[in-house]
Amino acid sequence: MLEIKGIVVGMSITKDINSLLDDMLVIRSEINRMRADLKPNETLVNNQTGERVSANKIEELANNEINEIKNELNKVTNDGKRATGLFNNVYYVNDVIQDKLLVQGESDDVNK
């Protein structure tokens, strides 16, 4: 347990927040890769349904997923109120290299 501003917080909240942020990084990275590889009006085939889907539609779906992650972050952090001071205290160490690997798609396990 960690006490921040008089509030005792379990360390699992930081793991939950980091996991959600990692998920968001991966999605944004994939959006950027898709933008570089495809024209906006180009279509792809959905492997699961066989349906043709435009790059714009895929980006829209990815942005919807990011919004869902943001909503989940707001739930986990009580709209940021539970996260105050979690990531700038002396005990927190961010793994910047892991974040870079996630963006580059080189991490085997996103949610460690």
Q: Could you tell me where the beta strands, DSSP code E, fall in 1-112? A: 2-4, 7-9, 43-45, 52-54
- The kind and range of the H/E element at 104 are helix 96-104
How do residues 27-45 score in pLDDT, each as one tens digit? Answer: 999 999 988 998 878 888 8
Domain containing 45 equals 2-104
- Per the listing, tokens 């927040």 go with 17
Task: Give a yes or no: residue 110 inside a domain.
Answer: no
Rounded to the nearest 5 degrees, what angle is found at the Cα of 78, between the Cα atoms of 73 and 82? 95
Distance from the Cα of residue 74 to its chain's centroid: 13
Task: Give a yes or no: residue 111 inside a domain.
Answer: no
Report pLDDT for 16.
Answer: 86
- Cα distance between residue 19 and residue 98, in whole Å: 12
Report field, pTM of the whole predicted structure over 0.95 = no
Strand partners, 98: none
User: Could you tell me which residues come within 8 angstroms of residue 87 by beta carbon, excluding any fewer than 6 positions away?
Assistant: 14, 94
Task: Give a yes or no: residue 50 inside a domain.
Answer: yes
Task: Give a yes or no: residue 47 inside a domain.
Answer: yes
Query: Between 81 and 97, where is the model more confident?
Result: 81
Report pLDDT for 90.
Answer: 59
Task: Give a yes or no: residue 109 inside a domain.
Answer: no
Report pLDDT for 91.
Answer: 56
Task: Give a yes or no: residue 20 inside a domain.
Answer: yes
What's the number of domains the chain is made of?
1
How do residues 44-73 score in pLDDT, each as one tens digit? Answer: 888 889 999 988 888 999 999 999 999 999
Report pLDDT for 112.
Answer: 46
